[in-house]
């Protein structure tokens, strides 16, 4: 009899990655997202110019070998500003979403697993936050405490909590009644153990999908607030302020608005592709279905 | 000595219509090292009884009176933390539907290692024990199987994994809630054989719940017949099945397809329905459906001895009882 060597078992993350890159949509999403993240991380090395250095003689140029995406009304290199703008976008998006997930996960699990009165209270909070139009709420807060990166992060985080919290709550409610939870209880699992070991992994998959899909929204929101002048302060480069400059100068040059719009579109596409592909992959049961 | 000794246990559920008296004065014993079966039709209180034993009851359930003595100690007076310490170590449970009893997103190995959280062992040792347990319940190639997810196993295998997890800590009492109902007939036989072997090996007592008379006859030493939340008959399998004392047990046995000798188009049934447990009839709970009902049935019967170790709650038995 010959020995059959079984493939070495992959870790859970390895398994997800393995299936993700087999999906063309997932691969495309992953490449775009990697590019965006890498360019933001390595902005100081990638950007050919200082994004805030003025160079009036070179102002409002069309794309050319020296300025790949042209330059703005103050002669700043647009390409460098786009790269550095990505940094700002992710600086806002990542802590925002991480914070919203953390708070949403905890509140959602408490609401889903806890007593009825606590559930009602948390849902009331979710609905209250939800009932404000995000941009109006952001404008109000910015008007109160003044525009800054931290204000933007805080406002977007608070308004994103219900998105995650409600999904976690619903999932927890249905998981709570699942027979395997009763089975775990009958084997002596405590509430903390059930929440931490059995509910969290079941909820994390859908949350990861939601988060990937939510990043473009948050990036767009940051760009929108910066466009309105309520986000990051000039001269800090942001895709939103690039768009604003482009909007004002659209009669002089169309390049600025294109340069501010392309990364937003790419971010949206990349993260949405990734989210869609993740959705099919995080559930071990759906993995490898559909002839991929 | 009995591992589990339930005395006069009454449990009711709060419903919009009033208190639903799901269990009334249930008294039964699970002797040490024996397999005790509980048999009864749907809604007779089997599941309520188990949930009361391990104290995982629905929020609207309330214990009215009685005692659940486990190794001589009343479980109903234990605190929640004390109860939790008992579950999985002294009392374990196997559930009805093996497709639902495992966390779908964790590997079987992860789950089996995790439930040993009380033991101060290294992860490698816990893994080794999990492998041993899987081998014990007859899962081939257990080492590799630990890395698989529940959905990669068949129903019969999943039930065996559930049994392995329940027996991991070598409990004194295993409660099996219709563990073979969701499986087909061949698997049912396999699981039952396996349970018998494991019971011999580990020496635990088993409380086996089923509505399948054949399985009870095959597996159990003692049997308790329940009807509408009351124990109507109890005794050894031989006594109860060969010499049923309660009219309900007789009717139940007559309805068992395995007992029918002559070909019929219609399977026999017991006419009538289970009484409304919110507004109970006075007198004998089975009187409405009983074919030997007489004057005395207007009063509630008490457990009477038919023969040594064989009891039934019927006035006819009480009359014949040697005073």
Q: 3-state DSSP call for residue A199?
A: helix
Phi/psi for B2 (5° steps) reads: -80, 135
Question: Alpha-carbon torsion B287, B293, B298, B303, what sign?
Answer: negative
Q: Which of A280-289, B146-155, B249-258 has the lowest mean pLDDT?
A: A280-289
Q: Which residues of B touch A171 (CB under 8 A)?
A: none
pLDDT of residue A132: 83
> Are A269 and A33 in contact, with CB atoms under 8 Å apart?
no
pLDDT in tens, B83-95: 988 998 899 999 8
Chain B contact for A182 (CB, 8 A cutoff): yes
CA A181 – CA A172 distance, rounded (Å): 11
CA A114 – CA A257 distance, rounded (Å): 50
Closest Cβ opposite residue B100 in set A178, A190, A202: A178
Closest Cβ opposite residue A179 in set B92, B95, B144: B95
Instruction: Give the rounded distance of the alpha carbon of A24 from its chain centre.
Output: 21
Domain positions in chain A are 13-282
Chain B contact for A217 (CB, 8 A cutoff): no
pLDDT band at A290 (very low <50, low <70, confident <90, very high): very low
How many CA atoms within 13 Å lie on the side-chain side of B155? 17
pLDDT of residue A2: 53
> Are A180 and B162 in contact, with CB atoms under 8 Å apart?
no
CA A242 – CA B97 distance, rounded (Å): 59
Q: Which residues of A touch B101 (CB under 8 A)?
A: 179-180, 183
Q: Which residues of A touch B115 (CB under 8 A)?
A: 184, 187-189
Distance from CA of A172 to the nearest CA of B (A): 13
Inform me whether the pLDDT recorded for A11 exceeds 80.
no
Chain A contact for B58 (CB, 8 A cutoff): no
Q: 3-state DSSP call for residue B176?
A: strand
pLDDT in tens, B130-139: 999 999 888 8
CA A32 – CA B10 distance, rounded (Å): 64
CA B308 – CA B287 distance, rounded (Å): 25
Mean pLDDT (whole number) for A125-129 = 91
pLDDT in tens, A206-263: 888 888 888 888 888 888 888 887 777 777 788 888 888 878 888 877 887 888 888 8
Phi/psi for A71 (5° steps) reads: -140, 165
Spatial strand order of the sheet with B18-31 comes to B18-31, B2-15, B61-70, B73-74
> Are A253 and A12 in contact, with CB atoms under 8 Å apart?
no
- Pick the residue of B48, B101, B149, B166 with the most A CBs within 10 A to test the interface with A by mutation: B101
pLDDT of residue A291: 38
Q: Do A189 and B115 touch (CB under 8 A)?
A: yes
pLDDT of residue B266: 81
Q: Do B97 and A179 touch (CB under 8 A)?
A: yes
Structure tokens at A249: 């100068």
pLDDT in tens, B223-246: 999 999 999 999 999 999 999 999
pLDDT of residue B317: 85
Distance from CA of B178 to the nearest CA of A (A): 14
Inform me whether the pLDDT recorded for A3 exceeds 60.
no
pTM of the model: 0.79
Q: 3-state DSSP call for residue B232?
A: strand
Q: Which of residues 223-262 of B touch A (CB under 8 A)?
A: none
CA B322 – CA A40 distance, rounded (Å): 93
Closest CA to A157 of A214, A111, A83, A119: A214
Q: Which of A16-30, A167-181, B76-90, B203-217 has the lowest mean pLDDT?
A: A16-30
Average pLDDT score over chain A? 82
Q: Could you give the percent of chain A with pLDDT greater than 70?
A: 92
Cβ-Cβ contacts under 8 Å for B51 (sequence gap 6 or more): B57, B58, B61
User: How does strand B304-307 pair with strand B310-312?
Assistant: antiparallel
Inform me whether the pLDDT recorded for A174 exceeds 60.
yes
Q: Do B144 and A185 touch (CB under 8 A)?
A: no
pLDDT band at B321 (very low <50, low <70, confident <90, very high): low
Q: Do B84 and A9 touch (CB under 8 A)?
A: no
Structure tokens at B152: 């990669």
Chain A contact for B84 (CB, 8 A cutoff): yes
pLDDT of residue B323: 53
Q: Which residues of A touch B105 (CB under 8 A)?
A: 201-202, 205, 283-284
**H-type helices in chain B, by residue range?**
46-53, 80-86, 108-114, 123-136, 142-145, 155-167, 185-202, 213-219, 237-242, 247-255, 315-320
Residue with tokens 């767009």, as numbered in its chain: A220
Closest Cβ opposite residue A187 in set B87, B104, B147: B87
pLDDT in tens, B270-298: 888 888 888 888 888 888 888 888 888 88
CA B73 – CA B86 distance, rounded (Å): 12
Chain B contact for A205 (CB, 8 A cutoff): yes
Q: Do A187 and B93 touch (CB under 8 A)?
A: yes
CA B298 – CA B268 distance, rounded (Å): 27
Q: Which of residues 111-140 of B touch A (CB under 8 A)?
A: 114-115, 117-118
Is domain A13-282 given the CATH code 1.20.950.20 in the classification?
no
pLDDT of residue B299: 87
Whether the bond between A235 and the residue before it is cis, its omega within 30 degrees of 0, is yes
Query: The complex's ipTM?
Result: 0.81
Distance from CA of A281 to the nearest CA of B (A): 12
Q: Which of A186-190, A228-232, B64-68 has the lowest mean pLDDT?
A: A228-232
Q: Which of B9-13, B21-25, B95-99, B181-185 has the lowest mean pLDDT?
A: B181-185
Cβ-Cβ contacts under 8 Å for A183 (sequence gap 6 or more): B93, B95, B101, B102, B162
pLDDT band at B205 (very low <50, low <70, confident <90, very high): very high
Spatial strand order of the sheet with B205-210 comes to B91-94, B173-177, B205-210, B35-39, B222-227, B230-236, B310-312, B304-307
CA B26 – CA B226 distance, rounded (Å): 9
CA B2 – CA A276 distance, rounded (Å): 58
Q: Which of A44-53, B55-64, B212-221, B268-277 has the lowest mean pLDDT?
A: A44-53
Q: Do B56 and A182 touch (CB under 8 A)?
A: yes
From the number of C-beta atoms within 10 Å of its C-beta (0-12, 13-18, 19+), residue B292 rates as: exposed
Inform me whether the pLDDT recorded for A102 exceeds 60.
yes
pLDDT band at A26 (very low <50, low <70, confident <90, very high): confident
Q: What is the dihedral of CA A161, A162, A164, A166, to 10 degrees?
A: 150
pLDDT of residue B191: 85
Question: Alpha-carbon torsion B61, B62, B66, B72, what sign?
Answer: positive
Q: Do B54 and A186 touch (CB under 8 A)?
A: yes
Please give the full DSSP string across A105-142, using - where no structure is assigned: HHHHHHHHHS-HHHHHHHHHHHHHHHHS-HHHHHHHHH
Domains of chain B by range and CATH?
A: 2-90+171-263 (3.40.50.300), 102-168 (no CATH)
Nearest-Cα residue of chain A relative to residue B148: A9
Chain A contact for B86 (CB, 8 A cutoff): yes
Mean pLDDT (whole number) for A276-280 = 82
Q: Which of A25-39, A112-126, A244-258 has the lowest mean pLDDT?
A: A244-258
Chain B contact for A19 (CB, 8 A cutoff): no
Inform me whether the pLDDT recorded for B262 exceeds 80.
no
- Pick the residue of A180, A191, A194, A285 with the most B CBs within 10 A to test the interface with B by mutation: A180
Q: Do A182 and B106 touch (CB under 8 A)?
A: no
> Are B252 and B228 in contact, with CB atoms under 8 Å apart?
no
Average pLDDT score over chain B? 88
Q: Which residues of B touch A283 (CB under 8 A)?
A: 105
Q: 3-state DSSP call for residue B250?
A: helix
Mean pLDDT (whole number) for B24-43 = 90
Cβ-Cβ contacts under 8 Å for B290 (sequence gap 6 or more): B247, B248, B284, B297
Closest Cβ opposite residue B103 in set A9, A180, A205: A180
User: Residues A92, A98, A103, CA angle at the centre, nearest 5°?
Assistant: 120
pLDDT of residue B36: 93
Structure tokens at B116: 């040993």
Mean pLDDT (whole number) for B38-49 = 87
Closest CA to B52 of B15, B8, B16, B17: B8
CA A108 – CA A103 distance, rounded (Å): 8
pLDDT in tens, B109-135: 999 998 888 888 888 999 999 999 999
Inform me whether the pLDDT recorded for A51 exceeds 80.
no
């Amino acid at each position: 009899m010959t020995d059959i060597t079984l493939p070495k078992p992959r870790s859970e993350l390895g398994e997800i990655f393995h299936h993700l890159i087999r999906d063309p949509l997932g691969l495309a999403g992953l490449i775009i997202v990697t590019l965006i993240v890498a360019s933001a991380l390595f902005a100081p090395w990638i950007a050919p110019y200082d994004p805030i250095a003025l160079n009036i003689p070179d102002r409002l140029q069309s794309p050319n070998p020296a300025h790949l995406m042209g330059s703005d009304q103050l002669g700043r290199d647009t390409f460098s500003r786009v790269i550095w703008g990505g940094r700002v976008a992710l600086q806002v998006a990542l802590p925002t979403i991480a914070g919203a997930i953390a708070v949403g996960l905890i509140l959602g699990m408490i609401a889903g697993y806890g007593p009825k009165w606590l559930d009602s209270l948390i849902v009331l909070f979710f609905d209250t936050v939800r009932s404000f139009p995000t941009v109006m709420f952001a404008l109000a807060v910015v008007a109160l405490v003044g525009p800054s990166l931290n204000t933007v992060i805080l406002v977007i985080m608070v308004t994103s909590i219900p998105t995650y919290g409600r999904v976690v709550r619903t999932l927890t409610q249905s998981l709570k009644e699942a027979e395997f939870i009763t089975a775990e209880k009958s084997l002596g699992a405590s509430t903390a153990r059930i929440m931490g070991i059995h509910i969290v992994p079941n909820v994390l998959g859908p949350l990861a999908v939601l988060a990937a899909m939510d990043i473009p929204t948050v990036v767009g929101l940051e760009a929108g607030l910066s466009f309105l002048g309520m986000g990051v302060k000039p001269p800090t480069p942001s895709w939103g302020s690039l768009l604003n400059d482009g909007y004002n100068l659209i009669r002089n040059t169309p390049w600025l608005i294109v340069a501010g719009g392309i990364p937003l579109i790419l971010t949206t596409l990349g993260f949405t592709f990734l989210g869609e592909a993740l959705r099919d992959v995080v559930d071990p049961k759906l993995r490898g279905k559909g002839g991929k | 000595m009995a591992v589990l000794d339930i005395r006069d246990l009454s449990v009711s559920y709060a419903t919009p219509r009033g208190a639903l008296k799901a269990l009334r004065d249930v008294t039964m014993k699970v002797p040490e090292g024996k397999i005790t079966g509980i048999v009864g039709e749907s809604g007779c209180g089997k599941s309520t009884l188990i949930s009361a034993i391990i104290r995982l009851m629905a929020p609207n359930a309330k214990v009215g009176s009685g005692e659940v003595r486990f190794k001589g100690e009343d479980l109903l007076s234990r605190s929640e933390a004390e109860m939790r310490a008992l579950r999985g170590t002294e009392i374990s449970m196997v559930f009805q539907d093996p497709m639902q009893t495992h966390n779908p997103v964790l590997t079987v190995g992860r789950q089996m290692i995790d439930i040993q959280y009380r033991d101060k062992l290294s992860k490698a040792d816990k893994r080794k024990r999990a492998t041993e347990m899987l081998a014990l319940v007859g899962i081939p190639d257990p080492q590799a199987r630990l890395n698989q997810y529940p959905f990669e196993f068949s129903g019969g295998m999943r039930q065996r994994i559930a049994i392995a997890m329940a027996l991991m800590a070598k409990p004194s009492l295993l409660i099996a809630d219709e563990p073979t109902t969701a499986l087909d007939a061949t698997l049912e036989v396999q699981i039952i054989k396996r349970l018998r072997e494991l019971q011999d090996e580990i020496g635990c007592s088993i409380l086996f719940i089923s509505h399948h008379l054949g399985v009870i006859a095959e597996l159990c030493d003692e049997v308790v017949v329940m009807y509408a939340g009351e124990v109507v008959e109890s005794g050894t399998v031989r006594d109860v099945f060969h010499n049923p004392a309660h009219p309900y047990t007789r009717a139940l046995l007559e309805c068992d397809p395995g007992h029918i000798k002559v070909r019929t188009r219609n399977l026999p049934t017991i006419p009538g329905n289970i009484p409304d447990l919110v507004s109970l009839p006075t007198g004998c709970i089975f009187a409405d459906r009983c074919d030997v009902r007489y004057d005395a049935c207007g009063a509630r019967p008490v457990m009477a001895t038919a023969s040594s170790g064989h009891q039934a709650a019927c006035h006819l038995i009480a009359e014949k009882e040697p005073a």
